[in-house]
Each structure stands twice: as C-alpha cells, then as structure tokens.
Structure 1
Amino acid sequence: MELQRYHLAGQAQFDGTTGSWAPGGDAGWTVKTVIRDPHRLEARVTLGEVLATGYSLVVTPQAHREAIHATYHGLDAQGFHVVLTARDGSLEDRVGFSFRLDGLTDTPTPDDRTLVKDHLVEDIHVVQSILAKKAQSGMITVMCSASINQDRVTEGRIARQREDLDRLYKELEQTQDPELRREIEAKITVGRRKMVRYEKLMRAAHYWDSAHEFGKLWGAYYAERQKSELGGRDVPICTGGGPGIMQAVANGAASQRAIVLGIDAIFGNEPRFALGPQHQHALDSNVRIRCNDFAIREAALINYANVVLFWPGGLGTSWEAFETLCKIQTGHLRRRRTKAIFVHTEFWRPLYDYVKHLREIGTVNAYGDRIKFPGLDDADADDAYVGEVVDSAQEAFEAARAFVERLHAENALSLY
C-alpha cells in the first residue's frame, strides 16, 4: 500500500437565521448540522478523501473566541464531529469554526487538471521506444469494456452479492436502533443496485466470448502466417491493458503464442509498478506500458494503430470511439492508413443513428462523415465513411486482416 500525506484546512460559518453552513478554505469536505439547540451546535465534517492512518486534528472557534468553546470527537477515516458551545448563555446566530487536519491516505485522487510536463514527456518517450521495437509495422487496437466479464466471473459476483444481501436482511431483522437500521437499509439499497447491474452484465457476457474469439483469431494469424504473408512484417494486437473484454482479447491472443501489447494508465490509488492480485488481467499482456497521463494513453492506443476495433463498452469506449472518428474526420489520422471497425450491430446501432442525426443537423459532412452499417448505409465508396460496423468476431477479423494486407500491398504498413 502506497501512503501519501494528506493536509486539509478549512473554516465554516453557521447562519442561524437560515440554518445553513458556509464552508471555506480547501476543497474536498462537506459540513452538516447534527444537533442544534440554544447552547450547543454540533456538525459532522465529511471528508472527500478517506484517510488510512496518522490522524491529527486541531479545531478552533471563529469570532468571539472568548465566548465560544470548540471541541471535536468521533475522528475516523471518513471525518469528524465539531461541537460549539457557549461558555456563558446562548449561542449567537452566527458562529463558526476552523480546522486543520493532517493524515495519510492510500486513495489519492489524481488532479487531472494539472498537466505535468515531465510525465507527458516520459509517457511519450516510453510509448515510442517500446512500440518502435515491438510494433515496427504498426498494430491493431481493440477498445472495449472493462466491466463485461466471462459469465462464470459475473456469476460469482452475483452469488457473493446475494450472500451479502441475505446477511444484511438478517441484520436488519435483528436491529432495533433507528440509526443502525438506516445504515443497513442504505447498504441494502446499494447492494440491490449492484445486483441489478451484475444481472445486466451477465446478459452481455457473449460480448466477452466474441472478443476472446477475435483474440484467438488474430493471435493465430500473428503467430503462424503474418511474417510470410506480410513480407517479414508483423502487426501485434494491443488493448488498454485492463480487465473485462480487454482481458478477453489479450487472453485469446496470448493463448496462440502471440505478442500482446497492453497500454494502460494509473487510476486513483493504484501503484505504478507494484501490481497486486487485483491486477491478474495484466498477466495476459506480455508487453505492458503504464502511462502517467490518461490522454497520452488514449493517443498511443489510437495514433499508432492501423486498425482500431470497438467492442461494446461504456463511457471510456465511447470517448475512444469519438476521438478516433474525429481524428479520421479531420485528417489527423489518414483514412487510407487507419480503419475504425465497430463490432456487433445491435450494440452500435445508436451510434449510427447519432452520427446520422449530426449529418441531418449539418454539424458533420453529409457524405464523408458516415458510419457504414450493413443494410442501412453500405453502398458508397470507402471515402464516404469514417467507420464501419460488422456483426461478429469473424467478420471483424476478416475486415482487419484485409485492411492490413492492403496496406502491405501499398507499402504503407508502418508504425508512423
């Protein structure tokens, strides 16, 4: 566990006429009244960053310090309580407190608004150095969900979640304390939401199987035929290096003794190098790059790919899809050297409809900025489309392979 120092300083003014607090100082905390009477005001300060250890807290009253006494209690990883009392008589309508908290946290939230020059340069250098050795002729990248898993994995999560809910229901039956009951009921609500999501992900497990099949197809092509068919060149497969469908692709390709590239980024409290048991998915990528900056990671996955394939995913996959389409549209990636393929028509139909909507509004080109979709829009030349949709792993493999072989025939198969 990698601990980081955590400092937080703030102040809060209470307005007795409105019953509201006005917090100030550092961001990353909230304050809420717990008890209010003429002689005592108690508030709960909740931290945005959970502490691990090393708590140190100082609380002082603001304004009329000689008349107000400030103490705290209940300091824990999530926050603390502040109690303001009048030394003599009643509290005034306007009272307040200030505090300084020091501790250690193992869940540092990255400040993504800060661009660190050294991190950007380091990421670009590492990506280019490794790809120049392992993907000299370019690569194909698969973008996809980190949440959709093999059915047996999701079945296990559903079973564990059901056990947790059963335990919470029993605790609720045996608990009379109103506050504890509210806490248990809140946990049950969260558990039910998780169960609903896991059940949805279970219905999407066939996308994991499809991606695993594609990984095996491309892995076998890489290991057995590429060098002979591409004049001694090879084009490895690359993913975002994560779990879910990314792992399905990597595992499928690795099972065929193929090179598998994984380019990921540091998320939240993850250490950069000391990966733990929760990173078992990393083992399926035998060449791995971990970036400091999320945007550089995305650019590396897209910019150096001859073909970018999209399996079903969430907001991250959608971001990657639109970044790829925009780069092809604007010429940052040349259409004749980059292909975007979306796999599974039923999942990507809303994307087709949305791009069609943009064409009808006029915000994208009516001819050249289209998604090629079987049976709906597939009759024009390739320059009419920024991407195309296919319906299966086999179709995706055939389309990607044909494009790579065409680039080879045109002497255009390269990393840069």
Structure 2
Amino acid sequence: MTPEEQERANAAQLASPSYRIAAMDQDFLLSDQMRGVRFLLEYEKTESGLRAWGVRSTLVVFGSARVGADGAGRHSYWYEEARKFGKLASERGGAIRGEVGQPRDNVIATGGGPGIMQAANQGAFEAGAPSIGFNVTLPHEQFPNPWSTPELTFQFHYFAMRKMHLAMRANALVVFPGGFGTLDELFEILTLRQTGKAPAIPIVLFDEAYWRSVLHFEALIEHGMVKASDMELFAFADDAEGVWAALLAGGLKPGESIEKPALSHTKLAAKRDL
C-alpha cells in the first residue's frame, strides 16, 4: 500500500479528535473537565511573567473604571491623585531598579482597565517604573489601558485567579472611590485581613467623605457584625501624599516585601493562604 493509499485508508482515524495531541486539542482544553487545568495555566502564566521581571511585591490600587481625567465633580481630582500616587509610590517604594535581576518591590498593580486603574499605571510610567495590569474578560469588550507595562499586562478568564494574583504579592492596598467591583475587591482583602488569612498589610481608603457617605461603618459595629477594633484594619487619606504617609504609618517598608510565613505541618493553625 502506497503512503497515499495508507492515508486514505485511515483518514477517519487521523481526523478523529481523540487522535489530536492533548496540548493541541482546543476542544479538549476548553471542556468542563479541564477547568482545573485552565485555572492552573492562568496561575502559572502570570507567575512566570512576574518572576521574569523580578516583581517581589506590589502596591495594589483599586477604583472605578468610570473615573476620567476630564470628569465632572470630584472625578478629575480622584484621577489626578491616583496618577500622583502611582508616580510617587513608584519613585519611593522600590519599583525602579537599575541592576538586572534585582527584586522589585511595591510595584503598582491594578485591574488593568481605564479610570483609576489607568491613572495609577500612568503615574508609574511617568516615574520610569514598570506597573502591572491584571485584566479580566467581561461580557462587553474590555481593553487594557495604554500605561501598564506590556510584558506585565495579563488577561484572566477567572475572577478568582485574578483576585489571587492581586492579593498574593500585595504589600498594601489603596482603594479609590468605586462601585460594585471596587467594593467586592475591598471587602475581599478586608476579610482576608480580619480572618488572619493574609499578612497585616496596610489598607487605605481614598477620600474619607466618599467612603463614609456610601458605607455606614458604625452600623456594622452597632449591630454586632464586626468589632470596633476591626475599624483599625484600614485608614483614610485625602491626597496622594496622605496615602503614602498612611501606608508608612501602617507598616509599609520601601524596598522590602512583607514576609509571608512558610507553611509547616506543625503550624497549620497559623497557615496563610496567600
């Protein structure tokens, strides 16, 4: 039998999806049973990119995608102060490193989109520092903002993995005014801090008047939902310099990474997930 005849004879076998190399079989990789593998792939692809740039720790900036530099009311102020913070934090925190392979600390990390996220990435760019954009696929089209470092601009399918990468290297969290998404991310980190599942990182809410107008923190205490001491998990600031001062007061050390305890079978009760 000639090669041509052989190929015709087993054409059905060659064309069968089962014959595809598993790593090249997109239908298989996108199937329900491979969800765990896709989750792992999202983790490792991002992890590899961050390691390549020496990113040891981050300063995470959350805030609304609807805030623009030319917005009405307080919007332009919020944008400008987020940009200023991204610049000064990059200059003072350890994100700028001249030596190849030297760890970078307190690198600005955002959700990668427009608004406050863009402003913080822009400030880092103006300082000559790299910054990270952790984008996520949404039902409507989303594009990364033009200021995050291209090699550190990632896209996630799973919100959970995106949140994990936002949290696991965070030395601090700065939360500018925002909506449902910002509230979700804020309370995610507050819960990790309250329950001891994350290190004692400083959390700063920008524009105290805004946050007290949308969240009645004292009501949580009055109803016995949280302890009064839980209010010490975060601080307020009203300008970029104030944010930096609050972070330093909360324990941030420029040029260093907050130590995350190693796991030990003798210390499971003190286990940290991040």
> 1:366 & 1:321 partners in 2: Cα distance?
18
Which stretches in structure 2 are left out of the alignment for 5+ residues?
A: 1-31, 262-273
Partner residue in 2 for 1:284: 148
d(CA) in 1 for partners of 2:34, 2:140:
18
1:148 aligns with: 67
Please name the residue that 1:258 is paired with.
129
Q: Is the 8 A contact 2:106 2:255 kept in 1?
A: no
Q: Residue in 1 aligned with 2:187? A: 322
Please say if 1:307 is aligned against 2:172. Answer: yes
- Output the CA distance in 2 between the equivalents of 1:224 and 1:296: 24
Correspondence for 2:252: 404
Q: Relative to 1, partners in 2 of residues 1:358 and 1:407: Cα closer, same or farther, differing over 3 Å?
A: farther
Rounded Cα–Cα distance in structure 2 between residues aligned with 1:143 and 1:115: 31
Of residues 337, 345, 363, the one that matches 2:225 is 363
Q: Distance in 2 between matches of 1:150 and 1:356?
A: 33
Q: Which residue of 2 aligns with 1:120?
A: 39
**Residue by residue, what CA displacement relative to the aligned partner does 1:307-352 show, whole Å, maximum 9, x if unpaired?**
01101111100111111111100111122xx12111111111136x
The 3-state SS of whatever aligns with 1:279 is coil
User: What CA distance in whole angstroms lies between the structure 1 residues aligned with 2:226 and 2:98?
Assistant: 40
Q: CA offsets, 1:357-412, max 9 Å, x none?
A: 11111121233x11xxxxxxxxxxxxxx111111211111233355331794xx84
- Structure label with greater radius of gyration: 1
> For the Cα contact (< 8 Å) 2:105–2:255, is it kept in 1?
no
Confirm whether residue 268 of structure 1 aligns to residue 139 of structure 2: yes
Query: Which SS does the other structure have where 2:233 is aligned?
Result: strand
Give, in whole Å, the separation in 2 of the partners of 1:269 and 1:233.
34
Residue 208 of structure 2 corresponds to 345
How many correspondences in the alignment? Answer: 227
Matches within 5 A, 1:11-160: 116-151=35-70, 154=71
CA offset digits 1:229-267 (Å, max 9, x no partner): xx9753211111001111111111101110111111111
Contact 1:239 1:249 in 2 (8 A): yes
Matched, 1:204 2:75: yes
What is the root-mean-square deviation in Å for CA atoms of aligned residues?
3.1
Partner of 1:334: 199
Summarize the alignment of residues 170-185 of structure 1 with structure 2, pairs less than 5 Å apart. none
1:245 aligns with 2:116: yes
* Alpha-carbon displacement from aligned partner over 1:135-175 (angstroms, at most 9, x marks no partner): 54311110011110111xx5xxxxxxxxxxxxxxxxxxxxx
Secondary structure at the aligned position of 1:258 is classed as: coil
- Amino acid aligned to 1:394: E
Does structure 2 conserve the Cα–Cα contact (< 8 Å) formed by 1:266 and 1:290?
yes
Within the candidate set 158, 163, 178, 1:298 is matched to: 163
Equivalent of residue 216 in structure 1, options 84, 87, 99: 87
Structure 1 residues 236 and 202: CA distance shift in structure 2, 3 A:
same
| Cα distance, 1:129 vs structure 2 | 2.3
Cα distance change of structure 1 residues 406 and 263 upon mapping to structure 2, 3 Å threshold: closer
> Does the CA contact (< 8 Å) of 2:94 and 2:106 recur in 1?
no
Matched residue type, 1:349: R
Cα contact 2:130–2:148 (8 A) shared by 1: no
Q: In 2, Cα distance between the equivalents of 1:114 and 1:147?
A: 37
- CA deviation digits over 1:82-133, x for unaligned, max 9? xxxxxxxxxxxxxxxxxxxxxxxxxxxxxxx999323211111123222334
Aligned to 1:388: 235
Identity of aligned residues (%): 27
What SS does the corresponding residue of 1:341 show, helix, strand or coil?
Answer: strand
- Residues 119 and 292 of structure 1 are in contact (CA less than 8 Å); yes or no, is this contact kept in structure 2? no
Aligned mates of 1:347, 1:150 — CA distance in 2? 18
Find the aligned partners of 2:186 and 2:109 in 1 and give their Cα distance. 16
Gaps of at least 5 residues in structure 1 are 1-112, 155-200, 271-277, 371-384
